[in-house]
Amino acid sequence: MMTYTSADFDRNQSADSTLLVRAGDHGSAVAIIDSEKRLQFLMEYSTTAVPQKVADIMRLDFREVKIAVPNGRYAFVPAEVYDSSRLNAYQYYLPSDDLTESVVADVPELAIKLVHQTAHIGLEAWQARFSQARVYPAVEVLLGVLLDYGRKTEGLTIAVDKQSESTSICIFDSGDFIYGNDFEIHHADDLNYYLLLLLQRFAVDRQPAYYLSGQVEEGDDYHQRLLKYSNRVEFADPLDAAGITAAAGSVASRHRFLTLFGLYLCG
């Protein structure tokens, strides 16, 4: 579990800072970004217990508080045909378990509406303390980080974000968002299977670019499977994407924190 505190972190300046929180069963983490977009504090921790350092952070005040939660059921609707009066029709494909809240997010850069079921289990303490907190599904954060990367990459870009046994796969074609879905993946063979299906579905005849994030490490089975399909495999750098600066060497394996630091880009 990673912990980092900047040498110039001043708790008395927290009211000008942004608090980022990754909550849920994919592993919890918090980060504080100051008004100059510098990383001041970062801590990962088990979801079973809140460490004292995080409890102390919760006593501070912040300019903004943003929380990322694991994906529930979701659907994309083109903005040009979205009709708020037909929300029940969209929700028909997202059966509820009465433990979630249906939320519609606008993603204007991609001209889509994201209809999402957000679970609030595990968020009670955060929302009780920070009533102004905004909650985002991980897929919305992922798309926010991918916008610039997908647009500047020619051809097909396939983003793979692995969190525990759930993996999000999003596809851009020369900057246009064309596909997004979550898959239950327990082994690298599962990832291989779904990638083959998608490559066949979109009739890919050249090497796509892969953008890898989450619980994957260089050289592991998942990374090796992607290298079978392309030599254009890049690990995400969400700090760079969000324009956040951090001391050299302060954050190892930055790609693991895409759904945390990517929150900074969410409006």
- Per DSSP, the residues of 171-233 read EEETTEEEEEEEEE-SSHHHHHHHHHHHHHHTT--SPPEEEEEES--TTSHHHHHHHHH-S-E
| Mean of all residue pLDDT scores within the chain | 90
Q: What is the pLDDT of residues 42-76, one digit of tens each?
A: 999 986 778 899 999 999 999 999 999 988 889 99
Name the residue ranges covered by the structural domains of the chain.
Answer: 74-122, 140-238
Rounded to the nearest 10 degrees, how much is the dihedral formed by the CA atoms of 166, 72, 107, 88? 140
- Per DSSP, the residues of 49-113 read ---HHHHHHTTS--SEEEEEE---SEEEEETTT--GGGHHHHHTTS---SSEEEEEEEEGGGTEE
Q: Which CATH superfamily is domain 140-238 in?
A: Protein of unknown function DUF3822, C-terminal domain (3.30.420.260)
Determine phi and psi for 143, rounding to 5 degrees: -65, -35
Q: Are 63 and 76 in contact (CB under 8 A)?
A: no
Tell which wins on pLDDT, 154 or 18. 18
Q: What is the pLDDT of residues 84-143, one digit of tens each?
A: 999 888 888 776 666 677 889 999 989 999 999 887 777 888 999 999 999 999 999 999
- pLDDT score, position 151: 72
Q: Taking the model in full, what pTM does it have? A: 0.92
Q: What is the pLDDT of residues 191-209, one digit of tens each?
A: 999 999 999 998 888 889 9
- pLDDT score, position 164: 86
Q: What is the pLDDT of residues 1-14, one digit of tens each?
A: 789 999 999 999 99
Pick from 30, 17, 2: nearest CA to 251: 2
- pLDDT score, position 26: 65
- pLDDT score, position 1: 79
- pLDDT score, position 27: 75
Give me 93's structure tokens: 């494909």
